[in-house]
Structure 1
Amino acid sequence: VQYVDLPEIQFVAEDAADIQQNIITMYEGLIESTLQPADPVRLFLSSLAAVIVQQRVLINRTSKGNLLRYATGIVLDYKGADFGLIRLDAAPSITNLRFTLSIPLASVTTIPAGTRVGAQGGDGSIYFATTEYLEIPAGATTGMVTGECSTVGTTGNGFMPGQVNVLMDPLPFVQSVTNTTESSGGAATETDEAFRERIRTAPESYSTAGPQGSYEFWAKSASAAILDVHAYSPSEGKVTIVPLLADGVIPGEDMLETVAETLEDRGIRPLTDHVTVIAPISVPYTTTLTYYISRNRASEVTAIQTAVTSAVEAYQLWQRSKLGRHINPSELIARVMAAGALRLNVTAPVYTPLTATQVAQQGITTLTYGGLVDD
């Protein structure tokens, strides 16, 4: 949320020196005498001033917490309730599961809802359960159904096709089962920052989707895993939705279907709109730089090297965490310099403008420490 036009707000003054001086001045006026620095009364009044300062800090904190910009935790939940919104719960990862029979059968084969399929090498601690009842028709040998990770959060994300293949609930004639899509969509409980942004844009939802902001609001409401959304109309009567997942992850087919199902609600989508949900276009880039450290900071070399590595990783996260964010080496330079490097040579990435349907994705990263140099 951006509040660039609003200054910091303070409901009551909390400057400790001013408060202490005001109390002492008021007391001296009442007794018509001056208190010396070591006077016990002056010391008592100073301790009283400290209590008053603490109370004013609490007043400011509490009062600012009633504003959307500063609200956190349960207070933010109550702010959301004013708009009929609740914080999105942690979500489990999902993937498509394909069940294969050993032979075609003359009758229907049933796969009960809740059938468990473990991840390869997971020792049964990570598994996906079918979300609905599946029937494989007579004469057919395969059937597809959605599987949901038993553990909410990001634990189940990132299993590539073929890695979820251990049938934990044996079924007659079922020869094998495997996931056909990368598991994705798992997310922790919606953060304060993400929930605050949804509350800020809540008025967009008052009208049936149609305005860009309304489509983006409802798309973000589909899952706590969704970090950013871009909605646009390529032609009359058509709307394209482009979601991006937390940590800059490109959504798989399962998450695209989840968003599409949310927007299919007739109370959200105008009858005349044809809505398509697609993944953002990945724009890869490499990171290649050599950095140098001041000879005056030789004793800090190890710490600075660690800080530089963290700065590059933070830059890459920043770069992939928003749709249409231009690939900007200046941001990389600023972060590495702030981490303690004296100077650096960056050969990649180069500045690359992106469109709102594209997202930067880092490729090979090469960090070279060039040694100590004079200032």
Structure 2
Amino acid sequence: MSELKFIDTEAGPIRDGILEDLENGVGDPLYPGDERRIFGEALAQVVVAVYNSVNDACRQKMLRYARGDVLDALGENRDTARLDPTFATTTLRFGVNEAVSHNIIIPARLRVTGDFIHYFLTDQTVVLYAGQLFVEVGATAEKGGADYNDAAIGELSQIVDLSDVALIDYVTNTEPTGGGGDQETDEAYRERIREAENRLSTAGPEKAYRYWALSSSPIVTDAVVESETERISRTLKTYAGHAFQGGANLIPESLAVYLPGGSEAVDGTDYTASYDDELLTLTLSGSLAAADEVKIEITRNMYGRVKIVPICAGGELPDEDVLEAVRRVCSADDVRPLTDIVQVEAPQVELYDIELTYYTTKANESEVVKNVEGPDGAINRYIYWQGSALDQEINPDELRKLILCPHWIENPIGATRVIITKPEYKELPSTTVAKFSGNINVQHVVKD
């Protein structure tokens, strides 16, 4: 898509135009070093800056260039507000080393932290009753955002408002913190505004359900919507070398026919199939020519039953809270067509290993090793890319590209050659996400 300009901001023509007007005004040529020329060149820089500011302001009227508050205003025009950040949660345990003879009140909104930067507040007032050693209560992050996620068990161990619970000996979180999401980014928000018109349909199209799924939470970054299917198995009686299965929405490409011994029959040798007017017809031959019955399996579409599979930022699998949020939004009476049944599921996971050898020269060894195996290197970038989206095959060529050409840095130095044994290319169902198994074997070879 070409860059849109409302005003020409090329510095050269603007500068030349100003100098030409000055020369015409004073009636003399302006040579380098002439103070009038120096003034004109300085003025040109100011004009270019102003033109760029005006051009940027004009371009922000367009959705593809808008950002910040301007993008929020465009979203309001389509009744699509930016998603607010969500708050991470956990469970806190307050306890004493020895039981005491009186109750201890743990007030609501008591602050607990592990680093005195990220604070969690108790959700409600609870009581540690006399004779008991601990009590647990839910807690929510003080602010929204993903920064409050992934505090390990036991990390939240400091009571900030200690005077409110002076007799408590310790506090700890009994589960990792999670569920926090940043405010919707400009790019994600822009894409959702583009899709806003899809929500107006009442026919239940894929794009409408996807729009509402992405609107359910800022941590939901992708979703696959598809009609449910059902795999059916039937044993059919044969009539004069033919067998029949009626039914709408059968998928002929999914047909499997079996021989009496249980092995799969060969299309074109043991049978031929046709599907017309909602009737599947098998013409039997070869090993099935004399069969009294034949077993088949076939998949059919379950129109009216919608399956939505969301995935979260960074490829995180959605927990039950996220799934429930998507289910609630997509099943609302003003979203879901009356005849649809909506099911929301977490993605299936396909694990893959990494095993490779890459080559470099001695002069570039340290730089190449950093670019391939470092924290921001090709392997970690590939793992993130591969696991962050649905409807995406396992593609080792993407890993190969990142290793040979680390394009995210200036003057990239990549490996001279790479042999990738694992992963192997594999197509995945649209609702399956590929995740790194943790098994990795990477070697590098230095060649002069």
| 2:409 corresponds to 1:345 | no
Secondary structure at the residue paired with 2:223? strand
- Which structure has the larger Rg over C-alpha atoms? 2
- Tell whether 2:102 aligns with 1:38: no
- Write out per-residue CA displacement over residues 119-164 of structure 1, whole angstroms, 9 at most, x where no aligned residue: 9x999x7768569x9xxxxxxxxxxx9975565333564589x989
SS of the equivalent of 1:186 reads: coil
Report the equivalent of 2:366.
Answer: 302
Secondary structure in structure 2 of the residue aligned to 1:366: strand
For residues 206-217 of structure 1, what are the structure 2 equivalents within 5 Å?
Answer: 206-208=200-202, 210-217=204-211
**Aligned equivalents of 1:214, 1:41: Cα separation in 2:** 62
Residues 94 and 254, structure 1, Cα contact 8 Å, conserved in 2? no
SS of 2:371's partner is: helix
Q: CA deviation at 1:371?
A: 3.9
Distance 2:181 2:203 in 1: 25
In structure 2, stretches of 5+ residues that fail to align are 93-105, 127-136, 166-172, 229-301, 407-412
Q: CA deviation at 1:196?
A: 1.0
- Are residues 1:8 and 2:8 paired? no
Contact 1:96/1:254, CA 8 A, preserved across alignment: no
CA–CA separation in structure 1 for the residues paired with 2:120 and 2:328: 24
Letter of the 2:403 partner, please give it. Answer: V
Tell me the CA shift for residue 241 of structure 1. 0.8
Deviates more, 1:358-367 or 1:80-89: 358-367
CA distance in structure 1 between the partners assigned to 2:336 and 2:429 by the alignment: 25
Q: Is the 8 A contact 1:242 1:278 kept in 2?
A: yes
Pick from 18, 22, 25: which aligns with 2:17? 22
Distance in 1 between residues matched to 2:145 and 2:122, nearest whole Å: 15
Q: Which has the bigger relative contact order, CA under 8 A and spacing at least 6?
A: 1
Give how far 1:272 is off. Answer: 1.8
Paired residue secondary structure (2:404): helix
Flag the structure with higher helix content: 1
The two structures have a TM-score, normalised by structure 1, of 0.76
> What SS does the aligned partner of 1:236 have?
strand
Question: 2 CA distance for matches of 1:239 and 1:365?
Answer: 36
Separation in 2 of the partners of 1:345 and 1:130?
54
The equivalent of 1:189 in structure 2 is 183
Structure 1 residues 109-148: aligned runs within 5 Å = none
The answer to whether residue 136 in structure 2 is matched with residue 69 in structure 1 is: no
TM-score, length basis structure 2: 0.64
Give the conservation status (yes or no) of the 8 Å contact 2:357–2:445: no
Distance 2:58 2:444 in 1: 51
Identity of aligned residues (%): 34
1:1-375 equivalences in 2 (<5 Å): 6-93=1-88, 152-154=144-146, 157=149, 184-208=178-202, 210-234=204-228, 235-295=302-362, 298=363, 301-308=365-372, 309=374, 310=376, 311-339=378-406, 340=413, 341-364=415-438, 366=440, 368-374=442-448
Question: Cα distance, 1:62 vs. partner?
Answer: 2.0
The answer (yes or no) to whether the contact 2:224–2:391 under 8 Å persists in 1 is no
In structure 2, give the amino acid aligned to 1:259. Answer: V
